[in-house]
Structure 1
């Protein structure tokens, strides 16, 4: 995720998907890391808020876009971290490495002669990219014991057609589909034929999700949430194109779909926030040897809510 100053609706969409529909990330993992996890694989949210001291001794908090663990049938598991970026920035790879180290420290194993750290598998989704955007990025670490390097693979929205998103069940990328045609949005708004083609694509997305709902692949909450998130991205990305906005809103069902889904989404977000806070509290208690109350103070949880979270630890 981009930093808090530059945070956008796109960050919010990505985090909503991760918080409320974490199972949808499995096809993304299979795509970017060449895995073959089944869609019903067990997946576990990991703490995405990490506390550490900077060089001046002040406590800083960093939040990742997504940190999770997927379990295989044979009992093994892998930890993953995926960042979503609308555009690249110079500090992105540094942040990815910092997040990776903090995630590794959460599960560090002490041995008789040292410590074992496992860096998670990291990747980046670029909503926008150019011919100069690499297919993978490299982290190289020179240590007294030798040089260590690992690669961070890159997903680019421009590389995916609507059919390929459908074929690979990349539900999480559907709300960002307009990034694939961003450069032609003005033409679509001004050219009736191009507008019909774009709106036909949006109709196909709605039809695809409806079919997956009937097949039992997704539930009603997931279907409606993905459509609403697509609408949110459309409002931001195509905000100055009235014909596109009106056409997409009509396809989405307008206000009827929005008010029904928002109530469900608020309940889902409340549950997601509680789960994230519990994970963060446990992480701070383990890593910094804090009491539950002190950990909650670090996380700025209101004292009135302490009892609720202590009962869930």
Structure 2
């Protein structure tokens, strides 16, 4: 798998780890609420080789969700054609994860395999709905499925309706076959850009509702841009049309964050100055209190407090952050 996709997947999981919960619920049929603790473990594992030096393998994810019953999960992200080697590699990872936390009591080794799944960014005719492990032992045969999530089969409605925001950076894969047409047909490119405008607007809405934070939104937008730049590198119009759109949204997000930080700092300084001067309540505090009540217009609050309309509007915007 290309490094950029692997890096994007690991970044969004490690930096915005709560976003994995809806994906786990979707893949494994769990009912996690999103309030559970998620604890990540080292991704580097050294596989023991009798005929060669130990070989380091790096998993995409290795974590435990602490619900009513703690459960360990291992999820890999793939964009390549299924070739059988992926299944072998998955089992090697799973076995090493199990051994790393294995317990030996009175010469009895107990190992617990993680719940494993694969996210396929591209879907081919040969891509199955699940992989299978069949482990034949002298004491009997154990077999179980490894579910596969096919990212390209999820529409925007699926993604936002089910809270699968972690898939947004990879949504562009569902349009990959259309790149030649988008690149040469301005109308088709406009339609693609409209989809990404919708994504940005819906992310803004989720931020305003407090469903995601500014950092989560920024990370999703940034990684989406990185993936688009990589996957569409042969299609200049697609790169500029959609890629520049995400870059612009990222700049706007950063500017708004800086503005909000400045407003917050100004409020803190105003309150501190008011206290130092023995003033019972500063203009800013009064304006915030009146805004919270919601009974006066911005203009009326500006007149009552002596602040400018622009200053009150900035404080009103801060109330919704």
Relative to the length of structure 2, the TM-score reads: 0.75
Of 45, 53, 58, the match for 1:50:
45
Residue 19 of structure 2: aligned partner: 24
SS state at 1:118 partner: coil
Deviation at 1:240, TM superposition (A): 2.3
Secondary structure at the aligned position of 1:130 is classed as coil
Runs of 5+ consecutive residues of structure 1 not aligned to the other structure: 265-313
CA offsets per residue over residues 118-170 of structure 1, 9 Å max, x none?
A: 10010001111112211001011111111111110001122111111111111
* Equivalent position of 1:84 in the other structure: 77
Name the structure 1 match of 2:228: 234
Distance 2:211 2:249 in 1: 26
> Residue 105 of structure 1: which of 66, 84, 99 is its match?
99
Moved >6 Å (runs of 4+)? none
Cα deviation code 1:176-200 (max 9, x no counterpart): 0010111112112222221121111
TM-score, length-scaled by structure 1: 0.77
Match of 1:290 in 2: none
Identify which of structures 1 and 2 has the higher relative contact order when contacts are C-alpha pairs closer than 8 Å and 6+ apart: 1
State how far apart, in whole Å, the 1-side matches of 2:52 and 2:111 are.
24
What is the RMSD computed on CA atoms of the aligned residues? 2.0
CA shift at 1:255, angstroms?
8.9
Whole-angstrom CA distance in 2 between matches of 1:25 and 1:258 = 26
Give the equivalent residue in structure 2 for 1:280. none
Closer, same or farther: CA 253–236 of 1 in aligned 2, 3 Å: closer
Q: Within 5 Å, which residues of 2 pair with 1:199-238?
A: 199-238=193-232
Cα distance, 1:216 vs. partner?
Answer: 1.2
Instruction: Report the 3-state secondary structure (helix = DSSP H, G, I; strand = E; otherwise coil) of the residue aligned with 1:134.
Output: coil
Rg bigger for which structure?
2
**Correspondence 1:93 to 2:70:** no
> How far apart in 2 are the matches of 1:256 and 1:132?
37
The aligned length equals 255
**2:34 partner SS:** coil
CA deviation vs aligned residue, 1:40-81 (integer Å, no higher than 9, x gap)? 221110121112331225222111000110011x3x111000
Q: Does 1:150 align with 2:155?
A: no
Hey, what does 2:55 align to over in structure 1? 60
